[in-house]
């Protein structure tokens, strides 16, 4: 009876092992067939500064009329484009183009000369200057960290330029927002992922340059702390952008979507420069999704770490940890969070690195999402009235950051060949073990019989 039971166990074991081999082979075949293709086959599109969406008719008018006859453009409260001009003939051209002219005393050339003079003065951390198109003035600001002596020296420089330069003290301090956007962590601190970009072969996160020097290693902000990638380049100070090369080279399934909290995201469909007065949205890992208005362009900020120029100013709030997070409107990428003053309880000012400048300097393209029908990028939507603009079309957030690449997680992922190989290997071990056990039992039985016969 005992020998009969052993034979049944051996037969069941062999059948299970053979079945496991067949199952494992099938799993491996399906996994290989479903493996994602090369980066060039990923179903998303790209956009570059050359393809950027228009920032409204005002930008084209300013370029055509020139810097000696204009002093900026902005979006009025009614959504109509306003262009500052210095003569009646230019005003007529603006009116004929369907925009609203505003006659002013000082041109963009005057603004550029003033900011050049300010830039040549001794650097004072905690100060900033901007071209205020709507008031036709250059505004110089000093935060609470600027000493009375330093502020007196800077106001003397401003007074020497002309009466169109206005000085003002502001509360708080101009700081980078180091502490997308999803959180990414390194030894340098916590930042937010901005936009996904590509050079055609590899994919990267575009984030703030002050987030960490080249070689900084980044991890996801969840409890698993999986490695995201490594900083491979950027510019700070001067500019404020950097690139994190994804571990494994790819961004994930929703590369053209930015996270806005609660598992939700916004499809990014293009890239552009913003307009003053435009409503914008900012996402960050600390304060989530916030909205505000662009208040100035080409702003210079003297952070304690160094001077950054060409920034976008907005009245949207931000807090430490929001650095590098995306700024966008109507699905159009505009900037990544640099720094500012204040917080989201009392309000504040936030500065952004323009995406177009970073892409042009790095020779990269923005990864954009397919439209709602999945058939290529959605059409870009120009500048809307401030009270009518939205962040863009929504999308669930999945795979914004790369999946864990450790051996255990890859073996456990049913989309990979690991599970099939494990089943196949286990079945082979079971089959070999059953054969060895049978051979060993036969050998022992032969010994017993031989000993009984000849002993």
Q: Which residues are catalytic?
A: 210, 240, 323
Assign 440 to helix, strand or coil: helix
Question: Which of these, 322, 305, 315, lies nearest to 279 by C-alpha position?
Answer: 315
Residue 242: Cβ-neighbour burial (10 angstroms; 0-12, 13-18, 19+): buried
Q: Is the four-CA dihedral 226, 229, 235, 241 of positive or negative sign?
A: negative
**Cα–Cα nearest to 271, from 52, 44, 46:** 52
3-state percent helix, strand, coil for the chain, nearest multiple of 5:
30, 35, 35
- The per-residue DSSP string of 383-435 comes to PPPTTT-----EEE--SSSPPP-SHHHHHH-TTSSHHHHHHHHHHHHHHHHHH
CB 367 within 8 A of CB 306: no
Which phi-psi region, left, alpha or beta, contains residue 288 (left: φ > 0; alpha: ψ -120 to 50)? left
Q: Which of 363, 429, 445 is nearest to 46 (CA)?
A: 363
Q: What number of other Cβ atoms are within 10 A of residue 443's Cβ?
A: 10
Handedness of CA 416, 422, 425, 430 (dihedral sign): negative
The sheet that has 241-246: what strands, in order across it?
A: 45-47, 365-368, 195-198, 203-207, 241-246, 227-235, 217-220, 183-186, 189-192
User: Alpha-carbon distance 317 to 289, whole Å?
Assistant: 10
Angle of helix 57-65 relative to helix 88-96, nearest 10 degrees, comes to: 140
> What is d(CA 215, CA 415) in angstroms, rounded to the nearest whole number?
31
Q: What is the CA radius of gyration of the chain?
A: 31
Cα dihedral 76, 80, 84, 88 in deg (nearest 10): -140
How many Å apart are CA 300 and CA 335, to the nearest integer? 15
Question: Residue 381 has which token pair?
Answer: 């939507």
Q: In Å, how far are 60, 69, 157, 294 from 63, measured between CA atoms?
A: 5, 10, 30, 20
Report the sign of the C-alpha dihedral through residues 437, 439, 442, 443, in that order. negative
């Amino acid at each position: 009876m005992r020998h009969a039971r052993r034979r049944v166990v051996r037969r069941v074991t062999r059948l299970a092992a053979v079945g496991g081999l067949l199952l494992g082979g099938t799993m491996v075949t399906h996994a290989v067939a479903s493996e994602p293709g090369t980066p060039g086959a990923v179903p998303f599109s790209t956009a570059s500064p050359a393809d950027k969406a228009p920032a409204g008719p005002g930008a084209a008018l300013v370029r055509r009329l020139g810097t000696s006859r204009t002093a900026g453009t902005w979006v009025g409260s009614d959504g109509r484009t306003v262009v500052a001009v210095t003569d009646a003939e230019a005003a007529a051209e603006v009116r004929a183009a369907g925009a609203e002219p505003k006659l002013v005393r000082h041109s963009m050339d005057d603004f550029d000369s003033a900011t050049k003079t300010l830039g040549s003065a001794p650097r004072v951390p905690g100060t900033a200057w901007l071209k205020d198109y709507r008031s036709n003035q250059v505004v110089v600001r000093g935060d609470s960290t600027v000493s009375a002596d330093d502020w007196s020296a800077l106001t003397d420089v401003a007074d020497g330029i002309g009466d169109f330069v206005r000085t003002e003290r502001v509360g708080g301090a101009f700081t980078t927002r180091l502490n997308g956007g999803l959180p990414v962590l390194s030894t340098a601190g916590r930042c937010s992922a901005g936009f996904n970009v590509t050079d055609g072969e590899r994919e990267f996160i575009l984030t703030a340059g002050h987030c960490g020097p080249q070689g900084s290693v980044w991890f996801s902000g969840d409890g698993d702390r999986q490695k995201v990638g490594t900083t491979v380049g950027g510019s700070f100070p001067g500019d404020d952008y950097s690139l994190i090369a994804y571990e494994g080279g790819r961004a994930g399934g929703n590369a053209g979507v930015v996270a806005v909290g609660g598992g939700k995201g916004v499809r990014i469909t293009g890239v552009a420069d913003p307009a003053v007065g435009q409503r914008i949205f900012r996402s960050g890992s600390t304060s989530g999704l916030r909205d505000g208005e662009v208040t100035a362009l080409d702003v210079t900020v003297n952070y304690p770490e160094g001077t950054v120029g060409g920034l976008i100013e907005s009245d949207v709030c931000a807090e430490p940890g929001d650095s590098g997070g995306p700024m966008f409107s109507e699905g159009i990428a505009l900037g990544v969070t640099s720094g500012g003053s204040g917080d989201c309880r009392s309000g504040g000012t936030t500065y952004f690195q323009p995406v177009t400048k970073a892409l042009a300097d790095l020779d990269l393209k923005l990864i954009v999402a397919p439209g709602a029908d999945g058939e290529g990028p959605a059409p870009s939507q120009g500048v809307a009235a401030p009270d009518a603009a939205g962040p863009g079309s929504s999308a669930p957030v999945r795979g914004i950051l790369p999946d864990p690449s450790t051996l255990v997680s890859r073996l456990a992922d049913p989309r990979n060949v690991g599970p099939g190989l494990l089943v196949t290997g286990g079945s082979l071990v079971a089959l070999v073990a059953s054969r060895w056990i049978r051979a060993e039992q036969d050998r022992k039985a032969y010994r017993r019989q031989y000993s009984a016969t000849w002993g």
